[in-house]
């Protein structure tokens, strides 16, 4: 694979000549910067916030994540799909302006309804967390998070990755910075985290309005709204179910465990899903490319090769995270959260399955088969809910983590099955599933190796990690894209 290629040539080819990979790197840099700041702030927050505080943050975040699906109406997907059909710059500007204005008006009305309904729902279901102040401020934050959606979509379709980088990273940095100041400097506890997020989102709103004024033409085209809703509303159940898969565990856990256990679970989720930085960065870069180039010759072979490259990378990184989970938790979290290492392997495994499914799902969208997305995610959600109801009473937070992994594995299988009905693409789903389960399972066993001397333990684990690296390479080598190749597209 590396024959006749210097390291300099590999770097130049992949980082400068391959625009897709270059944009992925920029998206990843933004996500990594945001996550790195949150990662390094985690030891501070876990020392100033209690496990119950993290339980409150986790639960309110899970509930509002459902609302975010309704708030967006998946309209950004409409822009990504139909931007290239607009013939003139004026039509494209009107597209951005119309969708942005509609979303802001719609969400103002939605926020009013939420404030009227939520206090009654919390009392009806006997939720441990009160509406004021926690849910009230969380709902306002959820409303403000709508503002960046259209500017970020603009940066993606116009392939201005640096604009995406600065907008996302600056908002994340401000959120953490304000949070640290308020939690530590003002001794506000968990409310400091809420207000830190609120202040950063207010600044983001102002910036996004300025961007929209510059890159769009504010208007209200009823035909555009009608067409966008016709395309996007069928995606809503799938998006809602997707969020449910990622959040239902915490909502069900609240009924069975204490807020302290929920807080431990939250830290485990945060560390276990850190691999999503790579997965999401790749998705942001590749989705417009797939839509634009779907009908080109050789698409089937190229999309499978691209999937194999992504899966190989995230599988190797994921196994490393699993193997060193105990050490990672002991470094980045206070001692009272140490138990969270036990559930990290489940979330890493689930994230790898999510990465394996990404290009399958985008391909289905490119085929204009969006009607099947709710079916795919709905089946996975069914397994998730049933799994949570069965395993949480038996295993607590460990049962919730297992149910989450199972749901994402099912999602990959169903997505491949349906997509294969409309194409002849050979996704190698069974091979990938077997490799993911075996690799992550072995890594979990290695995770528990404790020799006594830390440096010896790390060295032994590193040797096993290299072994897994080469085993995975053996399975993928025939379908990997050479490092000196041009873009897979």
Cβ neighbours of residue 478 closer than 8 Å, sequence gap 6 or more: none
> DSSP label at 488?
-
Express the helix, strand and coil content of the chain in percent, nearest 5 each: 85, 0, 15
d(CA 358, CA 412): 9
Q: Specify the residue for token string 């009823």.
A: 222
- Residue 15: pLDDT band with limits 50, 70, 90: very low
Q: What is the mean pLDDT of the chain?
A: 84
- Candidates 460, 448, 434, 449; CA nearest to 344 is 448
Give pLDDT tens digits for 142-151.
Answer: 999 999 999 9
Contact 443, 344 (CB under 8 A): no
Q: What is the pLDDT of residue 383?
A: 93
Cβ neighbours of residue 292 closer than 8 Å, sequence gap 6 or more: 84
Cβ neighbours of residue 457 closer than 8 Å, sequence gap 6 or more: 449, 450, 451
Contact 286, 323 (CB under 8 A): no
Q: Specify the residue for token string 């634009």.
A: 292
Average pLDDT value for residue range 287-315: 83
d(CA 30, CA 163): 10
The torsion region of residue 189 among left (phi > 0), alpha (psi -120 to 50) and beta comes to left
pLDDT at 121 over 70: yes
Contact 148, 156 (CB under 8 A): no
Both tokens of 153, joined, read 């979509």
d(CA 360, CA 350): 16
More confident residue, 154 or 236: 154
Both tokens of 322, joined, read 């699993």
pLDDT at 30 over 80: no
pLDDT at 120 over 50: yes
Predicted structure pTM score: 0.70
Give pLDDT tens digits for 394-441.
Answer: 999 999 999 999 999 999 999 999 999 988 888 989 989 999 999 999
The runs of H, that is alpha helices, within 396-453 are 397-420, 429-447
d(CA 149, CA 139): 17
- Residue 21: pLDDT band with limits 50, 70, 90: low
At residue 314, the 3 state secondary structure works out as: helix
């Amino acid at each position: 694979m590396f024959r006749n290629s210097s390291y300099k040539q590999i770097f130049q080819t992949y980082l400068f000549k391959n625009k897709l990979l270059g944009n992925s790197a920029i998206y990843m840099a933004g996500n990594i910067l945001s996550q790195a700041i949150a990662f390094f702030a985690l030891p501070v927050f876990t020392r100033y916030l209690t496990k119950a505080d993290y339980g409150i943050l986790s639960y309110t975040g899970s509930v509002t994540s459902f609302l975010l699906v309704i708030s967006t109406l998946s309209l950004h997907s409409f822009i990504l799909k139909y931007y290239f059909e607009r013939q003139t710059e004026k039509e494209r500007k009107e597209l951005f302006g119309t969708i942005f204005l509609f979303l802001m008006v719609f969400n103002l009305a939605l926020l009013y309804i939420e404030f009227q309904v939520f206090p009654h729902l919390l009392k009806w279901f006997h939720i441990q967390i009160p509406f004021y102040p926690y849910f009230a401020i969380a709902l306002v934050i959820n409303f403000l998070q709508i503002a960046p959606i259209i500017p970020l979509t603009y940066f993606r379709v116009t392939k201005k990755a640096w604009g995406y980088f600065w907008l996302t990273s600056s908002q994340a940095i401000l959120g953490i910075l304000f949070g640290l100041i308020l939690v530590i400097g003002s001794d506000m506890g968990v409310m400091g985290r809420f207000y830190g997020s609120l202040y950063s989102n207010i600044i983001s709103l102002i910036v996004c309005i300025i961007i929209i004024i510059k890159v769009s033409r504010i208007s209200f085209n009823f035909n555009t709204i009608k067409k966008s809703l016709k395309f996007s509303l069928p995606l809503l159940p799938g998006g809602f179910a997707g969020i449910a898969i990622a959040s239902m565990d915490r909502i069900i856990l609240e009924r069975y465990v204490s807020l302290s256990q929920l807080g431990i679970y939250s830290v485990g989720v945060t560390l276990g899903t850190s691999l999503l930085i790579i997965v999401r960065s790749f998705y942001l870069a590749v989705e417009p490319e797939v839509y634009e180039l779907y009908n080109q010759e050789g698409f089937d072979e190229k999309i499978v090769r691209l999937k194999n490259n992504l899966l190989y990378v995230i599988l190797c990184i994921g196994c490393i995270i699993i193997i060193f989970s105990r050490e990672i938790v002991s470094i980045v979290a206070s001692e009272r959260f140490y138990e969270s290492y036990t559930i990290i392997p489940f979330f890493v495994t689930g994230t790898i399955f999510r990465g394996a499914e990404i290009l399958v799902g985008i391909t289905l969208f490119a085929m204009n088969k969006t009607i099947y997305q709710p079916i795919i995610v709905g089946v996975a959600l069914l397994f998730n809910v049933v799994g949570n109801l069965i395993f949480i009473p038996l295993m607590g937070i460990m049962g919730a983590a297992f149910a989450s992994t199972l749901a994402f594995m099912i999602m990959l299988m169903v997505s491949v099955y349906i997509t294969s009905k409309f194409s002849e693409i050979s996704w190698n789903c069974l091979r990938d599933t077997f490799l993911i389960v075996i690799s992550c399972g072995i890594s979990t066993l290695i995770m528990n190796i404790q020799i006594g001397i830390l440096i010896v333990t790390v060295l032994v684990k590193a040797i096993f990690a290299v072994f897994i690296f080469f085993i995975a390479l053996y399975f993928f080598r025939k379908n990997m894209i050479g490092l000196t190749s041009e873009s897979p597209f």
